[in-house]
């Protein structure tokens, strides 16, 4: 058997209120008022498809053995690098071994389901466990429907042949050059065609034919479908397609459109992860990916689908939310509006690629060192141990810190140095088991930071070299989203600074 071993997701904390967008642009496009309900997931300035995919991968692999991952595939139509393997950055940040394969998949809204299909076929052929990721941060013109309906998010599915939570019964694909929207290689924004034609001619004809063909191919009927998953930025399309196929209305899964928006090629995998979180053993799930044709994947949940898990999943990340009503902030974070950062923002952010390569485990993987003689943990790892009153040389082993809980020792709220989201918070954190790190904080609230506060590390954008178009990544500390289950250990001492 082949299928899904584990699943994960990531949804950014910020949720742009659609009503705030409509209030700002309705004078220009009054028709947007009908789309003003709900909210959409909005990436922070230091998030992109790589960082979101990494968090989804960590969620998926929360309690798994990463050494079993043989390949990492990242699907997206909004990758930050056109000529640098984006999946390779994720591989490094996960601290996977170097003999792991990596691949980017792009070019269509069904890149996510197509990548998942390929991963399932490869795993069936003995390729080992494959980590299939899909992540999107699509840009849209201000005052457009897409600006309201898009959402930023990522999904992760680990595919293999052992310990399955969902068995893959089979897949079916059709390819038709149905151009509902497109983006040329030299353009920033998509160009979309008329929505009624897309709904009636595209989803209304191509998708039902593909679903019916898939069911017939595997000896199933519409009555055998317990959960029907189809992603579309247009409301009601999933129910329309299900009805055309004779699938019960109660089987149609919520598309999460009002809660997070549509995350492009990542949306089908997100909705599949969301459906599996509630699935019962034996339930059959039909997943549909639409874009210049259709992918149909059929799964059956196993007894292991109800087993307890450490992952947050779609529900957990949706619950970790902060409403955002600042439309200008959304435009700025998304690159649609340039603000004057002043002279402090003029520093050259050129990255020495030789240094990045030599220190990739330290920078991208947050791997420190642990002295094998004294047990002292330090970051960064070096030839000489920092153990007090002991001279130890060449005694350190690799010591990953990214997944260890930390607590704030000191912190500063800085309103002088430039940051795209002032004030900038940074300070020293101490990891459980040892080791201290001076780092930036992100996703924090003013006056809600305290010494001793539990923090977790997240992979984020450190700086952007605007002159050369290169993004530099590092790990930042964020308030522990599981803090309610963690109690402080003893008295915490530290310092607080304000600039």
Element of type H or E holding 240 = helix 237-245
The answer to whether residues 392 and 409 belong to one domain is: no
User: In this structure, are residues 323 and 260 in contact, taking their beta carbons and an 8 Å threshold?
Assistant: no
State the Rg of the chain over Cα: 23
308 and 437, same domain (yes or no):
no
Query: In this structure, is residue 376 part of a structural domain?
Result: yes
Pairing mode, strands 14-17 and 322-324:
parallel
Query: What pLDDT does residue 493 have?
Result: 39
Q: What is the pLDDT of residue 64?
A: 81
Co-location of 170 and 52 in the same domain: yes
Let me know whether 387 and 446 are in one domain.
no
pLDDT given for residue 128 in this prediction: 96
Domain count, the chain: 3
DSSP, collapsed to helix, strand or coil, labels residue 179 as coil
Has residue 105 been placed in a domain?
A: yes
- 391 with 429, same domain: the answer is no
How far apart are the C-alpha atoms of 226 and 245, rounded to whole Å? 13
CA distance 408 to 126: 45
Q: 58 and 75 share a domain?
A: yes
- So what's the pLDDT on residue 483? 61
Structure tokens at 219: 């000896």
Q: Are residues 158 and 276 in the same domain?
A: yes
**Which sign, positive or negative, has the C-alpha torsion 113, 121, 209, 230?**
negative
| pLDDT at residue 478 in the model | 97
Coil/strand/helix, residue 57: helix
Task: Note down the domain range covering 388.
Answer: 367-400
Averages of pLDDT over runs of 10 residues in the chain (499 residues) are: 97 97 95 94 97 97 90 98 97 97 96 98 96 97 95 98 97 96 94 93 96 96 97 92 96 95 97 96 98 97 93 94 96 93 86 92 96 93 88 92 96 93 95 96 90 96 92 96 46 46
Q: What is the pLDDT of residues 297-316, one digit of tens each?
A: 999 999 999 998 889 999 99
Instruction: Read off the CATH number of the domain in which 150 is found.
Output: 3.40.47.10
Same domain flag for 168 and 302? yes
> Does residue 477 share a domain with residue 328?
no
* Domain membership flag for residue 338: no
Q: For residue 437, which of 418, 409, 398, 465 has the smallest C-alpha distance?
A: 409
Claim to verify: residue 329 and residue 434 sit in the same structural domain = no
pLDDT of residue 391: 81
pTM: 0.94
85 & 122 share domain: yes
pLDDT recorded at residue 115: 98
- Angle CA(292)–CA(293)–CA(295) in degrees, nearest 5? 125
Beta strand pairing call for 284-290 and 293-301: antiparallel
- Helix, strand, coil shares, percent, the chain, to 5: 30, 30, 40
CA distance 30 to 143: 10
In a domain, 147, yes or no: yes
Instruction: Please write the tens of the pLDDT for every residue from 421-432.
Output: 999 999 999 999
| Domain assignment present for 329 | yes
Examine the domain organization and report whether 207 and 174 are in the same domain: yes
């Amino acid at each position: 058997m082949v299928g899904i071993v584990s699943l994960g997701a990531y949804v950014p904390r910020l949720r742009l209120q659609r009503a705030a967008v409509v209030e700002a642009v309705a004078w220009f496009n009054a028709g947007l008022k009908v789309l003003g309900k709900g909210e959409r997931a909005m990436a922070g300035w230091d998030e992109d498809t790589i960082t979101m995919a990494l968090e989804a991968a960590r969620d998926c692999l929360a309690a798994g053995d990463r050494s079993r991952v043989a390949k990492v595939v990242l699907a997206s139509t909004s990758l930050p690098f056109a000529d640098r393997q984006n999946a390779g950055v994720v591989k490094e940040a996960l601290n996977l071994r170097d003999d792991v394969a990596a691949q980017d998949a792009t070019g269509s809204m069904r890149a996510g389901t197509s990548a998942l299909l390929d991963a399932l076929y490869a795993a069936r052929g003995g390729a080992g466990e494959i980590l299939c990721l899909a992540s999107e941060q699509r840009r849209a013109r201000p005052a457009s429907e897409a600006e309201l309906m898009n959402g930023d998010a990522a999904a992760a599915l680990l595919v293999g042949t052992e310990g399955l939570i969902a068995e893959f019964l089979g897949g079916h694909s059709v390819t038709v050059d149905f151009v509902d929207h497109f983006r040329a290689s030299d353009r920033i924004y998509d160009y979309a065609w008329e929505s009624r034609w897309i709904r009636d001619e595209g989803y209304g004809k191509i998708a039902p034919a593909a679903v019916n063909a898939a069911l017939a191919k595997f000896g199933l009927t519409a009555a055998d479908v317990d959960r029907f998953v189809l992603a579309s930025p247009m409301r009601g399309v999933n129910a329309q397609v299900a009805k055309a196929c004779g699938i019960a209305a109660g089987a149609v899964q919520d598309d999460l459109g009002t809660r997070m928006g549509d995350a492009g090629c990542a949306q089908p995998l997100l909705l599949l992860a969301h459906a599996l979180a509630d699935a019962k053993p034996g339930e059959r799930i039909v997943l549909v990916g639409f874009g210049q044709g259709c992918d149909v994947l059929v799964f059956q949940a196993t007894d292991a689908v109800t087993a307890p898990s450490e992952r947050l999943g779609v529900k957990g990340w949706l619950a970790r939310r902060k409403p955002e009503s600042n439309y200008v902030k959304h435009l700025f974070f998304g690159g649609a509006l340039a603000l004057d950062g002043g002279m402090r923002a003029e520093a050259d952010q050129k990255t020495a690629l030789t240094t990045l390569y030599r220190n990739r485990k330290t920078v991208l993987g947050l791997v420190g060192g642990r002295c094998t003689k004294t047990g002292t943990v330090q970051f960064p790892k070096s030839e000489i141990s920092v153990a007090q009153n002991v001279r130890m040389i060449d005694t350190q082993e690799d010591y990953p810190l990214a997944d260890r809980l930390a607590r704030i020792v000191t912190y500063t709220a800085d309103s002088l140095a430039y940051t795209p989201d002032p004030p900038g918070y940074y300070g020293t954190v101490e990891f459980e088991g040892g080791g201290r790190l001076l780092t930036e904080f992100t996703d924090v609230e003013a006056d809600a930071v305290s010494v001793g506060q539990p923090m977790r590390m997240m992979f984020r954008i450190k700086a952007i070299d605007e002159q050369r178009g290169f993004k530099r990544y590092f790990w930042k500390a964020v308030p522990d989203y599981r803090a309610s289950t963690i109690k402080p250990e003893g008295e915490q001492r530290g310092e607080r600074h304000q600039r």
